[in-house]
Amino acid sequence: MSAISVTQVQVLDNPQFFGNPLQFEIQYECLQSLENDLEWKLTYVGSAESDKHDQVLDTVLVGPVVKGSYKFVFQAEPPDVTLIPQSDILGVTVLLLTCAYNDVEFIRVGYYVNNEYSDEDLKENPPETVRLDRVLRNILVEKPRVTRFPCPFDTPTIPTADTAEEEDMENAYPCGGGGGGGDNGGGS
């Protein structure tokens, strides 16, 4: 069983114009106190052709993490449109909300996003250069894709005699890395 259970993610202010911030209200339960902070990250997939157009919109450390229920609003600025190919600004893309502990991702919530003109005339006769002030961003909240990954959190792994040499270095930091400070939760 996981030490963290994400119970609800709600997209706020949706649909919204492309240039406006993105906001997610995240609720989770901590089933055991943890030594380090949780790292929440929001990534915008800029193009299906290459991940070089992906943009991490924001990252926030939330902690200290003690047993209990939590809720916070994660707000991020919209993607930098200059880093997205013009041909990929309109249409369907993906937003990824992830959470990691000690650099090991344990949950990923993916949403399809449809960017289209809010004006029927622009939909029928799109200009050569995208008019960002008229692009409406609609995060399709009905069917998020939720993927969970194993993470031992603060549970130490006990090496066996056969694997002790190999595992000593791998388990120097449970969940794959050192811990890191935080801002005691609160978003951007």
Q: Where are the domains of the chain?
A: 4-176
Per-residue pLDDT, 156 = 56
Per-residue pLDDT, 154 = 78
Residues 6 or more apart from 1 whose CB is under 8 A from it? 31
Contact by Cβ (8 Å): 40, 62: yes
pLDDT above 70: percentage of residues in the chain: 81
Residue given tokens 């202010």 in the structure block:
13
Q: Which fold has domain 4-176?
A: Immunoglobulin-like (2.60.40)
Nearest to residue 175, comparing CAs of 83, 58, 39, 75? 39
Band of pLDDT at residue 51, cut at 50, 70 and 90 = confident
More confident residue, 51 or 21: 21
Across the range 24-30, mean pLDDT stands at 97
Per-residue pLDDT, 23 = 98
The model's pTM? 0.79
pLDDT above 70 (res 73):
yes
Per-residue pLDDT, 69 = 96
pLDDT above 90 (res 26):
yes
Distance of alpha carbon 154 from alpha carbon 6, whole angstroms: 18
Provide the sign of the torsion angle of the four alpha carbons 172, 175, 177, 179, taken in this order: negative
Question: Taking all residues of the chain, what is their mean pLDDT, rounded to a whole number?
Answer: 85
Contact by Cβ (8 Å): 42, 60: no
pLDDT above 50 (res 174):
no
Residues 6 or more apart from 146 whose CB is under 8 A from it? 107, 108, 109, 110
Across the range 50-56, mean pLDDT stands at 91
Per-residue pLDDT, 1 = 63
Per-residue pLDDT, 173 = 30
pLDDT above 90: percentage of residues in the chain: 74
CB atoms within 10 A of CB 16: 17
pLDDT, tens digit, 9 for 90 and up, residues 100-150:
999 999 999 999 999 999 999 999 999 999 999 999 999 999 989 999 999
